[in-house]
Amino acid sequence: MTDRAATLLRTAAELAAYVPEQAPSAPRPERAVVMTMGALHEGHASLIRTARAVVGPAGQVVVTVFVNPLQFGEAADLDRYPRTLDADLALAGAAGGDVVFAPSVDEVYPGEEPQVRISAGPMGERLEGASRPGHFDGMLTVVAKLLHLTGPDLALYGQKDAQQLALIRRMVRDLNFPVEIVGVETAREPDGLALSSRNRFLDPHERHTALALSRALFAARDRLAAQQALHARALAGGASEDRAAGLTRLGEARLAADAQAVARARPDGGPAAVRAAARTILEDAAAQQPPLALDYVALVDPADFTEIPDDRTAGDAVLAVAARVGATRLIDNIPLTFGATT
């Protein structure tokens, strides 16, 4: 944390004219942008601190605060979204931000909503896109505009919004934006709940139920790790069904069961086993009071967010979950790697 104060800028003209103090002969400072919809919390602070570490003390860190109406399906959700600009300025400055760019809707969309928008394509119609039609088109449209307005060398986004991050990376690659996209690990509260501006809407009972999201993800991760550890033992020790059978004949039932588990361990634990471990936790939470209403739990390819088949034995994946607790909808995810044996 620092004592520097973030400068509030409201218009594109102010941002274009912004020149921080520096030596006349100094080279153009590297600029990083962290895009937010405000209501900043420790997760955003982590992004800002990472941006500051990447560009160094001589670089610029711009934090955008804009509640994008194109990303909300209902006006009530847009109106309900928290707006805490004074607190956002304090947090952004303390975390290392130089500028908070907080434009009005008219500044970003002069006159009316844009007629020309960026389409997220089929990847944007899955999971979050299926639950929130048009959300990712609106997200990519405003991200593209803010990238043009802020002109960064790199832009940082949290991995909690994994599908959003994947789509931004795809847009930047497909449309040749001259910017590096950096993903930052999901920030969590001490009890494991992923940090989100929406957490403030949970009462204590709802929050207890909501913890099932992170517990489901961790259970799936642990299931995969256990299976991969068994497979590593099988490779190292030459475990076989014959050894298990021999131990059974000797009356060593517990050792035989262990040997059989090692011998049958798949190298990846299997996508089906990972999904099942997560679903067990989520189904239990559906019976709690208040209940967790599951939207989806999906094991997907991080490149395009298509479902991973049960016979996948190697490669990266994202286990993603979305659910509603009371009136609050929450998302979370965790990256996984199949096929690791170390």
pLDDT tens digits, one per residue of 228-245: 877 666 666 555 555 555
Share of the chain above pLDDT 90, in %: 73
Identify the pLDDT of residue 256: 47
Partnered with residue 155 across adjacent β-strands are 33, 181
Which range is least confidently modeled, 66-75, 206-215, 231-240, 324-333? Answer: 231-240
Identify the pLDDT of residue 268: 45
CA atoms within 13 A on the CB side of 243: 15
- Going from the C-alpha of 188 to that of each of 33, 77, 192, 221, 260, the distances in angstroms are 22, 24, 5, 16, 38
What is the mean predicted confidence (pLDDT) over 214-231? 90
What is the mean predicted confidence (pLDDT) over 163-178? 97
Identify the pLDDT of residue 247: 47
Identify the pLDDT of residue 157: 98
DSSP sequence for 140-207 = HHHHHHHHHHH--SEEEEEGGGHHHHHHHHHHHHHTT-S-EEEEEPPPB-TTSPBP-GGGGG--HHHH
- Measured between alpha carbons, how far is 323 from 210 in angstroms, rounded to an integer? 8
Sorting pLDDT into bands at 50, 70 and 90, what band is 169? Answer: very high
Higher pLDDT, 231 or 199: 199
Q: What is the pLDDT of residues 293-326, one digit of tens each?
A: 999 999 999 999 999 999 888 899 999 999 999 9
pLDDT of 53 strictly over 80: yes
Q: Which amino acid is at 134?
A: G
pLDDT of 265 strictly over 70: no
Which range is least confidently modeled, 87-101, 212-226, 254-268, 309-323? Answer: 254-268
Identify the pLDDT of residue 206: 98
Sorting pLDDT into bands at 50, 70 and 90, what band is 269? Answer: low
**Contact indicator for 156, 34 with CB cutoff of 8 Å:** yes
Mean pLDDT, all residues of the chain: 88
Q: DSSP class of residue 126?
A: S
Identify the pLDDT of residue 159: 96
Give the predicted TM-score (pTM) of the model: 0.85
Identify the pLDDT of residue 19: 76
Identify the pLDDT of residue 112: 84
Active site residues: 44
Question: 138: helix, coil or strand?
Answer: helix
Q: What is the pLDDT of residues 19-44, one digit of tens each?
A: 776 655 567 789 999 999 999 999 99
Which range is least confidently modeled, 60-69, 172-181, 234-243, 257-266? Answer: 257-266
* 36 contacts: CB under 8 Å, gap ≥ 6: 44, 63, 64, 65, 66, 88
Which residue in 1, 74, 90, 78 sits closest to 37, CA to CA?
78
Sorting pLDDT into bands at 50, 70 and 90, what band is 204? Answer: very high
What is the mean predicted confidence (pLDDT) over 103-130? 93
Identify the pLDDT of residue 73: 74
Which range is least confidently modeled, 159-163, 222-226, 282-286? Answer: 222-226
Identify the pLDDT of residue 175: 97
